[in-house]
A and B are shown apart, each in its own frame.
Chain A
Amino acid sequence: MYVAVKGGEKAIEAAHQLLAQARRGDQSVAEIELAQISEQLALAVARVMSEASLYDTELAALAIKQARGDLIEAIFLARAYRTTLPRFGESLPLETSRMTIERRISACFKDMPGGQVLGPTFDYTHRLLGEMGQAQDAPGAAASDAGPASAVAEASYPRVADLLGAQALIETDPPEPSEPPGDITREPLEFPAGRDLRLQALARGDEGFLLGLAYSTQRGFGRTHPFAGEIRFGTVDVEFEAPELGFAVPLGRIAVTECDMVNQFRGTANTPPQFTRGYGLVFGQSERKAMSMSLVDRALRAREFGEEVTAPAQDEEFVLSHSDNVQATGFVEHLKLPHYVDFQAELVLVRQLRREWEERHAAANEAAASDERKAAE
């Protein structure tokens, strides 16, 4: 029974043991290894790394295993670890134009320097359950011999936004900020938030929530006339400038997906019309998240462009206050916690109100009955 006034500790311990058993599942089935998760469930790993703001495939795989595949729980685990890590500096901005491309597509131009590189994608597949292609059937085959090259090196892939920018058809990158970008994991979020904080919040934000918001802008709630200017996925160097060295050294490479959304033009009396932009960047391969992020980023720039703020996706406070899934799941699920005392207070009040209502009602009935009697006489 769940009324235990004492013995709660024992019950919790037992629940944890049951969780461990449930996590392991049937003992006759081999236990899953971390490398299997990071290699074969790479997109789940990417989502955990993105929304935990922690690039570490092994830790993310561990979090997924520990969370029994519940990705928000895994994000929670990874974030709870991240927050304990010391911070020794900030990397230089990523140079995504120098990305080693695995996939790069534009929906604006049929072709451009570097071309359309389809890369590994579910797009254009038919969703027929059980058909996984040849790699599935040939576990022993070395992928490198016959298969397509996994990364298209050497060729140059200028960013589509830069190509459009060369003709001033699209707004240019904003100037280098004079202050270092903010960090909502270190400072409390205040409104109005700058675009740096907004983008950070969106990059950490829940994929499903941002997807829904992005979708709402496409259906008329804060429309932005988007075109997928460019989506690219590949690896980039992370560089760090140590003060005692005076020059940048590479720390390693990370896989990222970048999306530049091209949106309908704005112009003023002082500037000719040009396309505006929304931006998305996430760890690993997640085009859905990067695209959603860039749509919502553009929608959130409504005030900057003097657009009327009418829809949820344009409302900075609404979006940023509700995009964090660890916060959201925590608060929603906290309703499972005991609320005995508050509920008791409500019970007392509602009983009192009902008693008063019944008294009034009885009095009114009595009065009506006596009226009827009088009328009958």
Chain B
Amino acid sequence: MSQPSYNFAYLDEQTKRMIRRAILKAIAVPGYQVPFASREMPMPYGWGTGGVQVTASIIGPKDVLKVIDQGSDDTTNAVSIRAFFAKVARVAVTTHTHEASIIQTRHRIPEAELTAGQIIVFQVPIPEPLRFLEPRETETRLMHALEDYGPMHVKLYEDIARHGHIATTYAYPVRVAGRYLMDPSPTPKFDNPKMQMSPALQLFGAGREKRIYAIPPYTDVVSLDFEDHPFEVQRFDRPCGLCGAESVYLDEVITDDRGGRLFVCSDTDHCEERRAAGQRGADAVPQAEELR
């Protein structure tokens, strides 16, 4: 049996054209979920098939691709997707945020500020911000059409009444360009402010749910809140244990079974660049040992 051969970046050109049309429409109507004919991909639904299809449709031979999952370039799924594109598109890949022309991500936006000309592609599991208030797609489409977003405010208010806080910590809903309510994908709400007036193009792909949406560069992206309960991001009461960075998102690592914890940058590239520049956190091992 002969080995089947694949087109550049896996998808055939007609499929890419169909997806590019959906992307263009999504850019033209910021925050609006454009249905598209999502394809079967050689990785499972829920593992980034939407993001992979968006990336496959926009990538060219001269692009430089970075793939992160949970902020890290070396998590299994990021490694797998990066290897996939290195294989089927033979493009250059990088872990450095500033070198990349396309960044595919799951659950984070890099700490380093994105620049004009860069594209960040989000993998989206549930594109519908109203889904957990109303499970039926027919209803939520209507709610978007009528700008009927009151139930979301009621939900946030109920959180405050019950917990004293808005209890949504990730996939925190935003209003895009003053019109559509949008799910920023399950990024921690820490990353929401990075979407506001970003110079980069932000594309969102949901494969299983067959939706694409977008935030064009320099677009107003506002997290929902109340005058007396303004939107706040997570704060950590300590800096990164390895590089000493403050005001970044941290991962908690369990170091032993006696309650030991280490807090480190979720964005591994950011952390490595800081350490390469000589920054040291309180838990950093001496350089010689690090080199092993």
**Chain A: residues with CB nearer than 8 A to chain B?**
109-113, 118, 123-130, 156, 158, 162-163, 166-167, 218-221, 223, 273
Contact = CB atoms under 8 A, between A and B. Distances in A.
A244 B264 CA distance: 55
Chain B, interface size category, equals: 20 to 34
- Specify the main secondary structure of chain A where it touches its partner: loop
A111 B135 contact: no
B76 A118 contact: yes
Given A110-B72, A123-B76, A219-B135, 6 more contacts: A109-B252, A111-B255, A113-B256, A126-B84, A167-B259, A219-B131
B49 to A, nearest CB: 11
A129 B80 CA distance: 17
Interface in B246-279: 251-257, 259, 264
Interface in B105-147: 125-126, 131-132, 134-135
A220 B135 contact: yes
Shortest 10 CB-CB contacts between residues of A and residues of B = A220-B135, A112-B254, A127-B42, A124-B80, A111-B253, A158-B257, A126-B42, A124-B76, A110-B251, A220-B131
Contact of B79 (A124, A162, A219): A124
Contacts of A129: 4
Nearest to B135: A220
A220 B42 contact: no
Contact of A130 (B1, B125, B163, B254): B1
B132 A220 contact: yes
B254 A163 contact: yes
Interface of B: 1, 3-4, 42-44, 70, 72, 76-77, 79-80, 83-84, 87, 125-126, 131-132, 134-135, 163, 251-257, 259, 264
Nearest to A310: B135
Given A110-B251, A111-B254, A124 B132 contact: no
A132 B259 CA distance: 42
A218 B45 CA distance: 13
A158 B256 CA distance: 9
B42 A128 contact: yes
Nearest to A267: B163
Nearest to A157: B257
Contacts of A166: 257, 259
A114 to B, nearest CB: 9
8 contacts: A109-B252, A124-B77, A126-B83, A126-B87, A163-B257, A166-B259, A219-B135, A223-B132
Nearest to A216: B135
Contacts of B259: 166-167
A365 to B, nearest CB: 42
Contacts of A111: 253-255
Contacts of A162: 257
Contact of A109 (B3, B76, B134, B253): B253
A218 B255 CA distance: 31
Given A109-B253, A111-B253, A219-B131, A126 B80 contact: yes
A273 B4 CA distance: 54
